[in-house]
Amino acid sequence: MSIEAIIHEIPQLSQDFVSIERLSGGLCNETYKVRTKHDAYVLRVNGKQNEYLNLTRRSEVEVMKKASRIGMSPSVIAGDQPERYVVTAFVEGRMPVQEDLRDPAIRVKIMERLKQIHRMEGNGRQCSPYQLIDGYLRGAERLRVKHPAGLGRFLRLAEEIAHRRGGDKAYNGRFCHNDSFLCNMIYTGSDLQVIDWELSGRGDVFFDLAIIPFSSRFAEAEEKAWLKLYFGHYEDEQYAILQDMKMMNMLREVAWGLLYSGLNKASGAHDFDYYTHAEYALERLEQGLYFL
**pLDDT recorded at residue 155:** 98
pLDDT tens digits for range 110-130: 999 999 999 998 778 999 999
Q: Is 54 left (phi over 0), alpha (psi -120 to 50) or beta?
A: left
For 2, the 3-state DSSP assignment is coil
At residue 240, does pLDDT exceed 80? yes
Domain end point (choices 37, 60, 89): 89
pTM of the model: 0.94
Same domain, 33 and 103: no
Same domain, 199 and 260: yes
Q: Which structural domain range is residue 281 located in?
A: 98-286
Same domain, 116 and 185: yes
Rounded distance between C-alpha atoms, residue 15 and residue 13, angstroms: 6
Same domain, 76 and 106: no
- Into how many domains does the chain fold? 2
Split at pLDDT 50, 70, 90, the class of 266 is low
Show the DSSP H helices in the chain as ranges. Answer: 3-8, 11-14, 50-53, 57-69, 104-118, 129-142, 151-165, 205-216, 220-231, 236-267, 274-286
- On whether residue 188 sits in a domain, the answer given is yes
Q: Let me know: does 97 contact 110? Beta carbons within 8 Å.
A: no
At residue 224, does pLDDT exceed 80? yes
Residue 248: CATH number of its domain: 3.90.1200.10
Query: Considering only CA atoms, which of 22, 24, 290, 26 is closest in space to residue 179?
Result: 26
What integer is the mean pLDDT of 221-230?
98
For residue 61, what are the CA distances in angstroms to 158, 179, 197, 221? Answer: 30, 16, 8, 38
Split at pLDDT 50, 70, 90, the class of 21 is very high
Q: Give the count of beta carbons closer than 10 Å to the beta carbon of residue 93.
A: 15
- On whether residue 153 sits in a domain, the answer given is yes
What integer is the mean pLDDT of 210-223?
97
- On whether residue 2 sits in a domain, the answer given is no
pLDDT tens digits for range 72-93: 999 999 999 999 999 999 999 9
Give the lowest-confidence range in 222-231, 234-243, 269-278: 269-278
- On whether residue 169 sits in a domain, the answer given is yes
Q: Give the count of beta carbons closer than 10 Å to the beta carbon of residue 56.
A: 14
What integer is the mean pLDDT of 137-147?
95
Rounded distance between C-alpha atoms, residue 30 and residue 166, angstroms: 36
Domain end point (choices 63, 89, 115): 89
Residue 22: CATH number of its domain: 3.30.200.20
What integer is the mean pLDDT of 175-183?
97
